[in-house]
Each structure stands twice: as structure tokens, then as C-alpha cells.
């Protein structure tokens, strides 16, 4: 009995110490604008894994970025796709872009306090996708925002309507991926509802982890069934930092205290890296 009581007391003490440790490391407001760096030359390589064994490698590279004022910062990112089983695994997801797509150019613009992305899928289709409010320019815990959109309205065929609800959290644990261990990450949880013209709906749940001065390091995609099965996993393999990363715009940390505004970020149908 004494040993059991000792174990219980020891466990309680460990929990108390862990809670105290977490309280000792609050969110640093100075990091709010550092979770989505877009400097010329920055490169991210991700591995996308699927339960059926299919996988993709995605490399995002910032070709150029510049600021022409507080409202007109922008960056051009090229994403190159390669992998095995792409056609098979994408059939299990709401389609975001043609399965044969191997390269996408995406331009990121700062509009107000949110980031808009405009993607050109190239090829004969000439499909252009614009997603306003992709991500808040500055992230801190307990931000809540939402978005609705119809991806690829100019594309032939049926359209999918997507409604998103998002909330940000400060991740207390290190995020471990092949590229390394990342602390002080911001976790964004997203509930995405997809609806086809026929009224058929599906739901997907996303968890994205963003590390300061790195960007996206991990994504989990799960279904809406009772088992919450994993549909896909994205993990950072390599990050090339050719120069000191900086936020897309300058930011005053003091502005967090008085801000309660909600905004928009949308996840396109399918699995995207977010860079």
C-alpha cells in the first residue's frame, strides 16, 4: 500500500512539475509574424505519406520576394511534385488539382492582415486558383477564423464548395519530423467540409504545425468516420535557409493584446503543403 501511495504521489508531483514548466514558457508575442517566412531562396522539402503505401515528395522554393510597402508584400513560390502511387491516393481525396500536375507556381500576397495565395496550375488547362485569407499574417494562441470557397471555378466539370473553421494553439511539446526537433510551434486545427453540386458532403480534419522562422513542419489529415482514420501525413524532410528568415511584414507585438478580430484561411480540397 505504501508503495502504491508513493507512486501516486510521485505521479502527481510529476504532473505538477510539468504544468509548472508549461506555464513558465508562455507564448512570445515577438514570434507572431515569424511562422510563415517567405525569403528569396528559402526551400522546403516535404514527404507526403498515405496509408496505402503511396507517397509524394514536394519541394517548395521561393523564387523571389519583395516589399513595396506595408500592404503590397508578395512572394513567388514554385512547388515541384514527384512520387509513387499519386493517382491511387489522390482518388481517395477531394480533388484539388489534376493528378498529372507536377509543378505549381503560387504567388503569396499580403492583403490587410491576411495572406492570399494565387496558384497557376499551368499546362493546357490554364487553371488559376485564388484563395483569399489563406492564413493570418500573424499567429498567436486562440485565434479563430473561417472561410468558404469554391476551388477552381474556371475549371471544367463539377465544383466542390469548401467551408473551413480554424483555431490556433501553442504546441507545448516539441514537434519531431525527419528534418529535426522544433519547439514553440503553433498548431492550427481545421475542420473542412466539402460539398459537391449533388449535395454529397464529406469532412476532413487537419492539424498543421508551424515552427517560427521555418514555416510548416507537419500536417495530419484524418477522416470524419468513427475511427478518425489517418488519410495523409506531411512531414518536413529538409529546410534550406540561405539567409536569415524574417516575417513577410514587420509586426508590433503589442497589437496582440487589443486584437480580437476573426478572419479567413482556406484549405484547398486535397492535400497541400501550405507553403
- Taking CB atoms within 8 Å and a gap of at least 24, the contacts of 49-52 are 49/232, 49/233, 49/234, 49/235, 50/85, 50/89, 50/92, 50/231, 50/232, 50/233, 51/229, 51/230, 51/231, 52/85, 52/88, 52/89, 52/92
Which residues, in sequence order, are CB contacts of 57 under 8 Å at separation 6+?
45, 46, 47, 48, 81, 82, 83, 237
> How far is Cα of residue 90 from the mean position of the Cα atoms in its chain?
19
Burial of 126 (0-12, 13-18, 19+ CB in 10 A): exposed
Q: Do 207 and 189 form a contact (C-beta atoms < 8 A)?
A: yes
Domain ranges in the chain are 39-256
Is the pLDDT reported for residue 251 higher than 60?
Answer: no
What pTM value is reported for the model?
A: 0.75
Q: In whole numbers, what is the pLDDT of the chain averaged over residues?
A: 73
Going from the C-alpha of 264 to that of each of 42, 147, 245, the distances in angstroms are 25, 5, 25
CA 121 – CA 111 distance, rounded (Å): 22
pLDDT of 109-148, one tens digit each? 888 888 888 887 665 555 677 777 779 999 999 999 988 7
CATH number of 39-256: 2.40.360.20
Which residues, in sequence order, are CB contacts of 58 under 8 Å at separation 6+?
45, 46, 48, 79, 80, 81, 234, 273
pLDDT of 162-206, one tens digit each? 888 999 999 999 999 999 999 999 999 999 888 877 766 788 899
Q: Do 113 and 138 form a contact (C-beta atoms < 8 A)?
A: yes
Amino acid at each position: 500500500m505504501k508503495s502504491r501511495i508513493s507512486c501516486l504521489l510521485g505521479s502527481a508531483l510529476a504532473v505538477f512539475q510539468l504544468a509548472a514548466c508549461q506555464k513558465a514558457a508562455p507564448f512570445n508575442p515577438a514570434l507572431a509574424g515569424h511562422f510563415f517566412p517567405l525569403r528569396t531562396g528559402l526551400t522546403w522539402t516535404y514527404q507526403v505519406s498515405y496509408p496505402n503505401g503511396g507517397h509524394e515528395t514536394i519541394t517548395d522554393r521561393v523564387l523571389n520576394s519583395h516589399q513595396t510597402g506595408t500592404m503590397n508584400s508578395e512572394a513567388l513560390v514554385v512547388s515541384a511534385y514527384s512520387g509513387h502511387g499519386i493517382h491511387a491516393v489522390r482518388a481517395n481525396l477531394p480533388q484539388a488539382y489534376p493528378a498529372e500536375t507536377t509543378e505549381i507556381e503560387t504567388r503569396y500576397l499580403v492583403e490587410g492582415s491576411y495572406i492570399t495565395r494565387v496558384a497557376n496550375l499551368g499546362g493546357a488547362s490554364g487553371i488559376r486558383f485564388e484563395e483569399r485569407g489563406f492564413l493570418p499574417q500573424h499567429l498567436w494562441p486562440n485565434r479563430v477564423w473561417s472561410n468558404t470557397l469554391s476551388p477552381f471555378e474556371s475549371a471544367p466539370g463539377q465544383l466542390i464548395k469548401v467551408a473551413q473553421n480554424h483555431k490556433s494553439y501553442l504546441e507545448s511539446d516539441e514537434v519531431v519530423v525527419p528534418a529535426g526537433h522544433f519547439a514553440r510551434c503553433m498548431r492550427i486545427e481545421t475542420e473542412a467540409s466539402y460539398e459537391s453540386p449533388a449535395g454529397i458532403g464529406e469532412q476532413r480534419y487537419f492539424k498543421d504545425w508551424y515552427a517560427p522562422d521555418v514555416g510548416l513542419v507537419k500536417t495530419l489529415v484524418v477522416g470524419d468516420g468513427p475511427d478518425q482514420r489517418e488519410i495523409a501525413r506531411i512531414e518536413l524532410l529538409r529546410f534550406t535557409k540561405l539567409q536569415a528568415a524574417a516575417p513577410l511584414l514587420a509586426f508590433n507585438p503589442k497589437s496582440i493584446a487589443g486584437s480580437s478580430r476573426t478572419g479567413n484561411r482556406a484549405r484547398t480540397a486535397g492535400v497541400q503543403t501550405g507553403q
